[in-house]
Amino acid sequence: MKPFHETRQKIRDELESPAAKRVFGSGWASGVLGIALSLAGLLLVISMCTPGQLLTTPQITPLQENHWFRIGVLLLLVGGFASSVVSLALREAKILGTTGVLLALVATIIGQSIANAHSSHALPIYFGLDWFALNVLFTGLIFIPIERLRPQNPNQPIFRDEWREDVFYVLVSSLMVQALAFLPQAPGKFVGELSTLGAMRDWVGSLPLLVQIPIIMFAADFFQYWAHRAFHRIPWLWNFHAIHHSAQSMDWMSGARMHFVEILIIRSITAIPVLALGFTPLAIELYVLLAYVYTTLIHANIGWRFPLVDRLFVTPQFHHWHHGADKEAIDVNFAIHFPILDRLFGTHHLPKDKWPTSYGIEGHPVPKGYWAQLIYPFRRK
Ligand SMILES: [Zn+2]
Ligand SMILES: [Zn+2]
């Protein structure tokens, strides 16, 4: 185990290396990109050739049957390989480049067995490894460059403190994509069937998509607002929500840090109006996608202020204040789409041109590490 442990540490040191060793032309960016592309390719290949398609997400399965998808995976691996070779040529330390090349090679070898992959889900359970790979790759490719343009905290590297914990949070919620997507629908469906809202449901379902989506956003945010306030107000709920607030650096990954009990509760509550009011499935799916990108955006390390827009919509600055460790940032800005909710209920806080001085919870009571945080709410305080 020792050599493995040492290699892992070496990779980590390289990823987190100081700014002077990350400059353009040092082979750092190409090495990181090489590993990211190769790793995404490897995970996709593994998910494609696992028997019974245990590791694939049903929504992605039809795509995998398409030969363009396979060409895409191949291009991903070729790109990962090429980028790693560039890093090997440029960089003194070879660990990043070597890792990228090895990952690409292993993926190519495993990929040989892809021809055996069959269709249809054999098992009712699956773990979305493919979803995780695509999720991190695309969200990262979109948000990392945006964050570099005008970072709120310019000194915060991509591989900042606790980045591995947050990747793990993304992995866990991707792997539990099924449970996390379906369980929370139960209360909403129940209300929808109970209610005598039949005519209302028909009317809502007949509205144009572009009208349905803003209504879903508002209804979901209204329910989210009060559930969120309850999570701050009620001590045993706060113990779960404290995990989300334990992030001391804000970026595109820090929003993923959330206890799965909180995910289940918050999603069940916000799903009630969405499912009970009779919106069309397409509108709901588009909202889920929008909410995912929106949540990533408001946590991102983005220093733009968006004046005027921030009166109508939640911006990174607005949600950063929610995460601030400063006194003035405590229990403010609960909305995640519309700040008017905070204006209406007296919790709005958005000083012009000012950002929190630090993030997290005063005294940092939450332990570091995924497993310690998983049991944290259940421990005696
Ligand atoms: Zn909160
Ligand atoms: Zn947050």
- pLDDT 10s digit of each residue in the chain, 381 long? 567 888 889 899 999 988 888 888 899 999 999 999 999 988 888 887 776 666 677 777 777 777 777 778 888 888 898 898 888 888 888 899 989 988 988 887 777 655 444 444 443 345 567 777 787 888 888 999 999 999 999 999 889 988 988 988 888 777 666 566 666 777 777 777 766 777 888 899 999 999 999 999 999 999 999 999 999 999 999 999 999 999 999 999 999 999 988 998 898 899 889 888 889 989 998 998 899 899 999 999 999 989 999 999 999 999 999 999 999 999 999 999 999 999 999 999 999 889 999 999 999 999 999 989 999 998 877
275 Cα–ligand 2 center, Å: 24
What's the pLDDT at 115?
44
- Confidence (pTM): 0.77
29 Cα–ligand 2 center, Å: 28
319 Cα–ligand 1 center, Å: 9
Rounded to the nearest 5°, which phi and psi values hold at 336? -115, -10
164 Cα–ligand 2 center, Å: 18
Q: Which parts of 16-159 fold into alpha helices (H)?
A: 28-49, 61-65, 67-90, 95-111, 129-149
125 Cα–ligand 2 center, Å: 29
> Which ligand is closest in space to the CA of residue 295?
2
Bridge partners of residue 59, in order along the sequence:
none
> Which ligand is closest in space to the CA of residue 334?
1
251 Cα–ligand 1 center, Å: 16
Residues in Cβ contact with 68 at an 8 Å cutoff, skipping those fewer than 6 apart: none
- Is the dihedral angle over the CA atoms 269, 274, 276, 280 positive or is it negative? negative
> Which ligand is closest in space to the CA of residue 314?
2
Helix (H, G, I), strand (E, B) or coil at 13: helix
What's the pLDDT at 195?
62
> Which ligand is closest in space to the CA of residue 332?
1
341 Cα–ligand 2 center, Å: 16
What's the pLDDT at 116?
44
34 Cα–ligand 2 center, Å: 30
Q: Are 224 and 269 in contact (CB under 8 A)?
A: yes
* Burial state string for 249-265 with b = 16 or more CB within 10 A and e = fewer than 16: bbbbbbbbbbbbbbbbb
Task: List the Cα angle 283/322/153 in 5-degree steps.
Answer: 100
What's the pLDDT at 123?
38
Query: Domain ranges in the chain?
Result: 2-126, 179-378
Give the amino acid at 68: W
